[in-house]
Homo-oligomer: A and B are copies of this chain.
Amino acid sequence: AVSDSDKEDDGEIREGKSIYMVSDGTGWTAEHSVSAALGQFDHCLVDHGCSVSTHLFSGVDDIERLIEIVRQAAKEDAMLVYTIAEPSMAGAARKACQLWGVPCTDVLGPITEAIASHLGVSPSGLPRGAGGRNFLSEDYFQRIEAIEFTIKQDDGALPQNLRKADIVLTGVSRTGKTPLSIYLAQKGYKVANVPIVMGVELPKTLFEIDPDKVFALTIDPVVLQSIRKSRAKTLGIAEHEMHNYSQMGYVKKDLERASKIFTQNPSWPVIEVTSKAIEETAAIILRIYHDRKQKRSLPSISKRY
């Protein structure tokens, strides 16, 4: 979906409605929120009944640029979504929007106010990066270590290290083990993934480690076949070279063998990944992971700040 905008003045209808996003920081919060909110309009986005283009302006820290962006939003009949920490800048955004009739939403304002009154402390009003924060926190190093561990462990490499992992994923080829591992690593978990490949024995260590940290992935055979087919195309594998990789008989046998292994290890949760986005599978895995650690009636994923 990453594409350059080359919207022309007469292209309004062809391109659909615009959403401008402005942040004095990275813009990722506005982007994340808009993308989740757009999920509520999937029914008309899919058939292009209401196609939308978003435009992210990050690092907006002076009023002139801010005003220029709002003016452009007005010209394009766009709406504006913003996250701006400095009260006078935020006020300027609101006023400019009002002046030029641009619909305008402050993403974090309400949460920030609610937190302020909950804590009894005023927000700093300083944008991200303005403070002299120490980025070299333990948390920061932990995340980097998790990412480096996870990369090294990918695709069954270094099975002797499985016990050092927080989470171990297993499943047949193309169940999304790699992107899922990386997603979890970004959240600070050391992840190893072990592929289940026909004719290859699983590493003994997989059955020796704490079974509470192993998660099994499974998928619908028809969907798996279509993923494997497009994978083979990407890799430029010729039909006859594919060792049946994406043939239905092979796909089914592959999944049956996996399912047998999963049955023999009943404490591994089996997660159905068909039609789930990576972040959805990650949420399910982390929910189970933390539930098991807490054993409380209302388990949650908890953090301290």
Contact = CB atoms under 8 A, between A and B. Distances in A.
Interface of A: 1-6, 15-17, 19-20, 25-29, 32-46, 49-59, 68-69, 72, 79, 81, 83, 85, 103-108, 110-112, 114-121, 123-126, 128-129, 131-136, 139-141, 143-145, 147-148, 151, 154, 176, 178-179, 182-183, 185-189, 223, 226-227, 230, 234, 275-277, 279-280, 282-284, 287, 290, 293-294, 298, 300-305
4 residue pairs, one from A and one from B, having the closest CB atoms:
A5-B302, A26-B283, A40-B123, A55-B300
A176 B144 contact: yes
A163 B233 CA distance: 21
B182 A37 contact: no
Contacts of A179: 143-144, 147-148
30 contacts: A1-B139, A1-B304, A2-B189, A4-B290, A5-B294, A5-B300, A19-B115, A25-B283, A26-B279, A28-B32, A32-B32, A33-B33, A35-B305, A40-B85, A40-B112, A40-B115, A40-B116, A40-B126, A41-B124, A45-B305, A52-B305, A55-B300, A58-B283, A58-B301, A107-B111, A128-B280, A141-B234, A143-B179, A145-B234, A182-B186
Contacts of A110: 105-106, 110
Contact of A305 (B1, B28, B131, B186): B1
Contacts of A49: 121
B188 A1 contact: yes
